[in-house]
Amino acid sequence: MYVGPLVHEFQGNTTIAKADNGHCYYLFRTKMNWFEAQIFCKKQKSQLLQINDQNENIWISMVFPNVRYWIDYTDIGKEGCWLTFSSGRDEYSSWYSRRPDGGRIQNCATNNYLSQLGRWDDVGCHDRYPSLCETSGSES
């Protein structure tokens, strides 16, 4: 269950929120490509945001509403087969209308497309967006 952020603080270009599920979310506003975001999050001892269900998607989109950011979702391995890169699973998605639509040139996903909270878009993996990293309670 997700209730408003227990902690919501700003540190430079980073916004931090802690959910009641024990996860911490770090929005890094520095723009980078999807591959850089994956590596960056790992260096922060976290992972690029993996959205597991509708409740998490709604909560995270409301906490970080006015920014489009990378999420851990891709079809790099097989065109049209979208999975979370970290786990290799496809448990949940929330695509914007008629998305994904990019074919072989748009293989990575962002959240909050066209200011539509919680709606995803497929974009080129070398495009540049902020990154949303996540840690579980045991890692924070």
- pLDDT tens-digit profile, the chain (140 residues): 455 555 566 677 788 888 877 889 999 999 999 999 999 999 999 999 999 999 999 999 999 988 999 999 999 999 999 999 999 899 899 999 989 997 889 999 999 999 899 999 999 999 999 999 999 865 43
pTM, full prediction: 0.88
- pLDDT at res. 1: 47
Nearest residue to 88 (alpha-carbon basis) of 103, 99, 73: 73
Q: What is the CATH superfamily name and number for domain 7-135?
A: Mannose-Binding Protein A, subunit A (3.10.100.10)
Domain boundaries defined on the chain: 7-135
Query: Phi/psi zone of residue 57: left (φ > 0), alpha (ψ -120 to 50 degrees), beta?
Result: alpha
Q: Look at residue 59 and give its three-state secondary structure.
A: helix
